[in-house]
Amino acid sequence: MHFIDSLSSDYRSHCVCDRALLVPGARREGTGGVALMWHKRWDSCVVPLPIDDDRIVGVQFQTSPGQFIFRYICRVSITQLIYLETILINCMTYGTLTRSTELLLGDFNAKYDAQSPRSRDSLLYRFFADNNIVPVNKTKKCSGASATYVSYDGNCQSIIDFVCVPVEIFDCVRNCIVIDDDCMNVSRHRPIICSIDVLTRKTDACDNTIMSVNWRKCNDTHFNEYNRLLMYDCDIYDLAHCDLKQKDCIDAAYVRVCERLTSYANATLPQKKYVSFLKPYWNSELTAAHDSMSLVRREWCRQGRPRDATDQAFSAYKTAKREFRRLHRKCVNIYLSNLNNELDRMAEVDSHKFWKMVNARRNRNLSSLSSSINFDGTTVRDRDSISDGWYHYFRELYQPHHDPDDVHSSDTWEKHVSSELDFIVKNIKPDPEVRVLPETVDHIISTCPKRKAGGYDNLQYEHLINAKHVISPVLANIYT
């Protein structure tokens, strides 16, 4: 199974094969394996499950703190179906106890048919029914080819591959399709693509954490992946073609666009690790300690995050974390101590400069005959009189006028503006024939400046500039 790791360096895999393949000289006909793959950016969220079986593989995917999705993929023979049922019931019991979601995929080597005379078909149907599992590619939500398996001679076609979800989350299935695009030259099984909306719960810590994209380190590969995720997002496509008439719908659409832009940017583009001026005490020693702790933590996550005090991975992680925190406190204390010493030294220097300036000006005249200003025909030279003159001048300048004959009087002007505004609001009618074109939005986005801070929605101009061809139709629909 090592060839899977060489397919792409951007993906990780968790796979098993028939134990017969590990025995030299053993019969290899009819043997195989199963594998699950994920993009390496999800390494911190994925933990392989230690299932002791050569036909089943599973991973745990953490969508948010305390919330997980368990995915199992299997390849079943006739004699192993009952054993598969026992293992999956145990796995699903564990998932239920952790209030998580279970997804089941694979080649079951049986049809989903309650009336079938074959025992394995009825056994599979009963297994799905007893565990409230829905095979998505057997429902109306699935499109594409009518069969997932085609025999080598082409005489037999059937559905024996399934993507299954619990009936409780069947409404989260967005779409499903059986691909029929020259795939038979690779395998007799057609691939199934299923899109599912994952419900996440954000915590306060997540809401307060704003990831900043390091735009200077982005290259074409990063931007291509960023645009690809946006292009294949069904929500983005729907927002570009749906009818937005109500204000609430427009606001909700804007929020969804902002969430997609920021989430995909954070997932594909390089991030700034930290803001340097917020951690002035940070040094190379802390960087090395943090990297060491991160490596130990990744190993602990790969082993399923055990919390037994006798576990070697857990003990190593806690030790590395304790050492990093101790070094962190030490560096902070040293920095604060040096800062206090610097403040004391600067206070002495400032005091010396202050008295030197006072002594230099002690014998100087407080006013000069050449320094004067005229207020309402009165010439003043001393500092207090000049300050009072400016005070009365600006007070008179900004004093409201209540002259009814003066058009620019504050009260008269306020009434005039209010009446004009009310008239415009009551009589304005949008022209249904006028539409904002994506090309116009694309051109405007191109003129936006770069390296500007984001607003309340955490969006920067770079989020739009580097995805303008994808996002322009959506913004044009919102503006229209």
Q: In this predicted structure, what is the pLDDT of residue 325?
A: 94
What span, in angstroms and rounded, lies between the C-alpha atoms of 199 and 374?
Answer: 72
Q: Is the pLDDT of residue 108 over 60?
A: yes
Kindly state whether residue 376 falls inside one of the protein's structural domains: no
Neighbours of 56 (CB within 10 A): 23
Mean pLDDT of 52-68: 69
Which structural domain range is residue 13 located in?
2-196
Select the more confidently predicted residue: 313 or 44: 313
User: Which pair of structure tokens corresponds to residue 355?
Assistant: 């008295």
Select the more confidently predicted residue: 93 or 7: 7
Percent of all residues in the chain with a pLDDT value above 70, rounded to a whole number: 76
What span, in angstroms and rounded, lies between the C-alpha atoms of 175 and 289?
Answer: 46
Residue 66 confidence class, pLDDT cut points 50, 70, 90: very low
For residues 109 and 127, is the Cβ–Cβ distance under 8 A? no
Mean pLDDT of 309-313: 87
Kindly state whether residue 78 falls inside one of the protein's structural domains: yes
Q: Is the pLDDT of residue 208 over 60?
A: no
Most confident stretch, 60-74, 83-97, 250-264, 360-374: 250-264
Query: In the predicted model, what is the mean pLDDT of the chain?
Result: 78
For 416-466, the DSSP string reads HHHHHHHHHHHH----TT----HHHHHHHHHT--SS----TT---HHHHHT
Q: In this predicted structure, what is the pLDDT of residue 97?
A: 40
For residues 211 and 271, is the Cβ–Cβ distance under 8 A? yes
Characterize 260-285 residue by residue with b for buried, 16 or more Cβ atoms within 10 angstroms of its Cβ, and e for exposed: bbbebbeebbeeeeeeeeeeeebeee
Kindly state whether residue 317 falls inside one of the protein's structural domains: no
What span, in angstroms and rounded, lies between the C-alpha atoms of 26 and 265?
Answer: 49
Q: Is the pLDDT of residue 458 over 50?
A: yes
Q: In this predicted structure, what is the pLDDT of residue 92?
A: 53
Residue 407 confidence class, pLDDT cut points 50, 70, 90: low
Q: In this predicted structure, what is the pLDDT of residue 210?
A: 53
Q: In this predicted structure, what is the pLDDT of residue 96?
A: 47
Kindly state whether residue 139 falls inside one of the protein's structural domains: yes
Q: Which of 74, 51, 57, 55 is nearest to 13 (CA)?
A: 57
Q: What values do phi and psi take at 86, rounded to 5?
A: -65, -45
Q: What values do phi and psi take at 12, rounded to 5?
A: -110, 160
For 173-192, the DSSP string reads EEEEEE--SS-TTT-SB--E
Residue 202 confidence class, pLDDT cut points 50, 70, 90: very low
Q: Which of 165, 173, 146, 142 is nearest to 157 (CA)?
A: 146
Kindly state whether residue 394 falls inside one of the protein's structural domains: no
Residue 442 confidence class, pLDDT cut points 50, 70, 90: very high
Q: In this predicted structure, what is the pLDDT of residue 69?
A: 62
Domain count across the chain: 1
> What CATH number does residue 167 fall under?
3.60.10.10
Q: In this predicted structure, what is the pLDDT of residue 409?
A: 60
Residue 98 confidence class, pLDDT cut points 50, 70, 90: very low
What span, in angstroms and rounded, lies between the C-alpha atoms of 463 and 394?
Answer: 45
261: Cβ contacts below 8 Å, ≥ 6 apart: 230, 459, 463, 464, 467, 471
Residue 358 confidence class, pLDDT cut points 50, 70, 90: low
Kindly state whether residue 121 falls inside one of the protein's structural domains: yes
Kindly state whether residue 65 falls inside one of the protein's structural domains: yes
Instruction: Give the lowest-confidence range in 137-141, 149-153, 327-331, 404-408.
Output: 404-408
What span, in angstroms and rounded, lies between the C-alpha atoms of 91 and 72?
Answer: 9
Instruction: Say what angle helices 468-479 and 247-268 make with each other, to 10 degrees.
Output: 170
What span, in angstroms and rounded, lies between the C-alpha atoms of 456 and 31?
Answer: 56
Most confident stretch, 5-9, 374-378, 438-442: 438-442
Q: In this predicted structure, what is the pLDDT of residue 28?
A: 64
Instruction: Give the lowest-confidence range in 9-23, 121-135, 200-214.
Output: 200-214
Select the more confidently predicted residue: 90 or 97: 90
Instruction: Provide the 3-class DSSP secondary structure of residue 316.
Output: helix
pLDDT, tens only, 269-289: 998 766 667 788 889 999 999
Q: In this predicted structure, what is the pLDDT of residue 207?
A: 39
Kindly state whether residue 276 falls inside one of the protein's structural domains: no
